[in-house]
Amino acid sequence: MAAPTSAPSSTETFWADADRHLVRYAGAGDFTREIISRAEGSFLHTEDGRRILDFTSGQMSAILGHSHPEIVETVRRQVGELDHLFSGMLSRPVVDLARRLAGTLPAPLEKALLLTTGAESNEAAIRMAKLVTGGHEIVSFARSWHGMTQGAAGATYSAGRKGYGPAAPGNLAIPAPHAYRPDFTTPDGGLDWRRQLDFGFDLVDAQSTGNLAACIVEPILSSGGVIEPPPGYFAALRGKCRERGMLLILDEAQTGLCRTGSWYAFERDGVVPDILTLSKTLGAGLPLAAVLTSAEIEQEAHERGFLFFTTHVADPLVAAVGTTVLDVLTRDRLDERAAALGAFLRAGLERIGARHGVVGDIRGRGLLAGLELVVDRETKEGSDALGALVTRRCLELGLHMNIVQLPGMGGVFRIAPPLTATEDELSLGLSILDEAIGDAVARL
């Protein structure tokens, strides 16, 4: 056997090695055929010298852009001092971040568990809810995404359910309140979300064995197609939970920490969850997640023997990064910036919609926007081919986009640039998207 080498390989050898040795993990999707060599701010740079504008903030995470100098400095300093500890030990960065997070949240959310990924934080939240309530049944939206670990995957309905055997018992789905594609309608054709919510919980009650523990939902369903429940929905949902002794868990992996124009998306509705989970945006691209809850719930969980720790629970390195993220968000008032840039982005998308009849809907909040493509605005019929063409053409022109394609929906672009992006960068992305849609329509 030949000894391995660390010397850079040719492009052809790189892709041959990738195809031979990497597990493909994105379902039907394949790896983007670009070798990324570095990233800075809002741009990715390839080995062959191409510059690509990143309209997804990496995996919807790099809210401060790539290689933010203060994040880089924190990592360099902290990794040289203290990076990892035994799970039962504590360090100042961990306690500092827990205190700082509590300071950004309304009462009674003041207890934090620091983990690594969104799936971990949702898994921990679900386990905590089951332990505290004594139930095991978990309700979530039919277009949800909460992660790929067992409990989180059981509450995920947008993808990944087929072929893996039975999910954990007690997972129940309610319909997502989708104003563009309403299933329950008012006399004027709008979404009758109250009737839909009543119907959903009628089905929950019919299927429940009397062991309801929690409802876990995203304030804006991102992987589900950037679906934003209407004002009043979450107050009504909390009421349904209270009637049944359930806890309300809000998953703000993609919406938390200023992306939607406020620190947390739930602020719009004035509804404080029993448990809040954060992940992607908290580490700004590094693996950091958190579960936040009240002292009362934490005490009850502790008394019942709550057990959830991982190899990297409460690691000081990423905790220090999280505190730096909060510092930058606060100092640079990035909640206000996201609101202003979101309005700028929305106006540009609406201009694109006015020029192209295949744009069916524009939605979202702040710097989390959705643009849905259809082949017919009247029927709202979607086209996978159209979405794939636009995505590919955007990349050719230097823009990375992500499109969500789910049954019963058209292709929906999730647009989530860094909060540090400039108006010029947003304008560049909008210009490329405009051109790509025009080119794709012409080809079809």
What residues are annotated to the active site? Answer: 145, 218, 251, 254, 280, 414
Assess contact for 143 and 110: CB atoms under 8 A: no
Q: Are strands 212-217 and 43-46 parallel, antiparallel or unpaired?
A: unpaired
Look at residues 404, 429, 434, 433 and name the one whose alpha carbon lies nearest to residue 417: 429
Q: How many CB atoms lie within 10 A of CB 268?
A: 16
Write out the two tokens for 252. Answer: 């703000």
Q: Which residues pair with 415 in a beta bridge?
A: 369
Residue with tokens 């205190």: 99
Query: 204 by DSSP, 3-state: which?
Result: helix
Assess contact for 257 and 63: CB atoms under 8 A: yes
d(CA 338, CA 373): 24
φ/ψ of residue 293, rounded to 5: -155, -175
d(CA 249, CA 278): 11
Please state the three-class secondary structure of 243-294 as a single string. HCCCEEEEECCCCCCCCCCCCCHHHHHCCCCCEEEECHHHHECECCEEEEEE
φ/ψ of residue 15, rounded to 5: -70, -30
Assess contact for 433 and 391: CB atoms under 8 A: no
d(CA 174, CA 155): 11
Write out the two tokens for 366. Answer: 């702040």
Single-letter residue type at 15? W
Bond preceding residue 166 cis, omega within 30 of 0:
no
